[in-house]
Amino acid sequence: MWEVVAPNLTLLLISLAVFGAFIYAVFLIGARASLKQQEWLRYVVFLGPASALLLIGLVYPAVRTVILSLMDRKSENFVGFDNYIWAFTLPEIQIVLRNTAVWIVLVPIVSTVVGLAIAYMTDRMKRGAWVKSLIFMPMAISFVGASVIWRFVYNFEPDPEKPEIGVLSAIGRSLGWEPRNWLLEAPLNTLLLIAVMVWIQTGFAMVILGAAIRNIPDEITEAAMLDGASNLRRFLRVTLPMIRGTLVVVLTTITIATLKVFDIVRTMTGGNFQTNIIANEMYSQAFTQLNYGQGSALAVLLFLAVVPIIWYNLRQLRLERSER
């Protein structure tokens, strides 16, 4: 065992010694350098490693992915935009794109609306923190863990003589409905997977929007009450305009998280039964079928879908700063 540990321990000690020597040399040079040289030295020491890591970990993989998306499955021959044409013409991939669009539309809107409703209703509620804690709890669960939990919820027992452990099937039988294998029927199965993501993201929306609602000055709310505005009118005319910037941030953040969702689909259906989305198909093409060209093309499409969302978010933040 020592023969295995000793080389790794030696390498670790040498690395620490080299790092310590580098830091000592930097401080020694800085102590003897002029003020102008110290300023450039700060740029090199603090921005240099960060820039190098950014180039190695982000810029280079992005450029390489774009190049691979223009190559064939083995990255040997240049095929131009054939992989992108494949993505928009193959019926199976069109289903993937359609499902992704449904996720992008439903998850941010439903999560934000439900989270906003809960935040508004529990704002003045006694012991509202307990309610918020329960709703926020799914955020502490990994996507894989949440998927396993909801697989039990959607579980179907075809034999009526055996006990039904699926909550959804049990509720259906209690209401006189005939249970079915929920995750096999499209497009219902896609909506059921979306429900898992909504369950997770609602707590995030609730916490952020709740904080924004509490930051609204009491004077504005009291003035609206003195003017005779009802609760609904105060919500529509006072609360929503005051938290508009936060709403945009929450919507865009959840949208980006939805575009990247992979674990839920992979764990619950594996992308089968017409539930596939771009992130899961990208993984399947690149790492299961070893088709790097088509997998990279899907990765580029996913990146291009995120860019306008980030641009819009940054634009709204700049507008808010200019208004202040």
Distances (CA, A) of 221 to 124, 213, 231, 237, 243: 13, 11, 10, 10, 13
Tell me which range, 38-47, 52-61, 196-205, is most confidently predicted by mean pLDDT.
196-205
What is the widest separation between alpha-carbon atoms in the chain? 86
Q: Residue 264 in contact with residue 183, Cβ under 8 Å?
A: no
Q: Is 71 helix (H, G, I), strand (E, B) or coil?
A: strand
Architecture of domain 82-323: Orthogonal Bundle (1.10)
Q: Predicted confidence band at 30 (pLDDT cuts at 50, 70, 90)?
A: low
Question: 229-254: per-residue pLDDT in tens?
Answer: 777 788 778 888 888 888 888 998 99
pLDDT-above-90 percentage for the chain = 20
Q: Is 290 helix (H, G, I), strand (E, B) or coil?
A: coil
What does the domain layout of the chain look like in residue ranges? 2-68, 82-323
Q: Residue 292 in contact with residue 79, Cβ under 8 Å?
A: no
How large is the average pLDDT for residues 11-27?
Answer: 78
Chain position carrying tokens 């992008």: 104
Q: Residue 303 in contact with residue 297, Cβ under 8 Å?
A: no
Confidence check: pLDDT of 108 > 90: yes
Distances (CA, A) of 90 to 84, 98, 303: 10, 12, 20
| pLDDT (0 to 100) of residue 33 | 66
Question: 134-193: per-residue pLDDT in tens?
Answer: 888 888 888 888 998 898 888 887 776 777 778 888 887 777 777 788 888 888 889 999
Q: Which of 267, 269, 248 is nearest to 314 (CA)?
A: 248
Q: Predicted confidence band at 31 (pLDDT cuts at 50, 70, 90)?
A: low
Distances (CA, A) of 8 to 17, 22, 102: 14, 21, 49
Torsion angle, CA of 141/144/150/151, rounded to 10 degrees?
A: -160
Q: Residue 104 in contact with residue 98, Cβ under 8 Å?
A: no
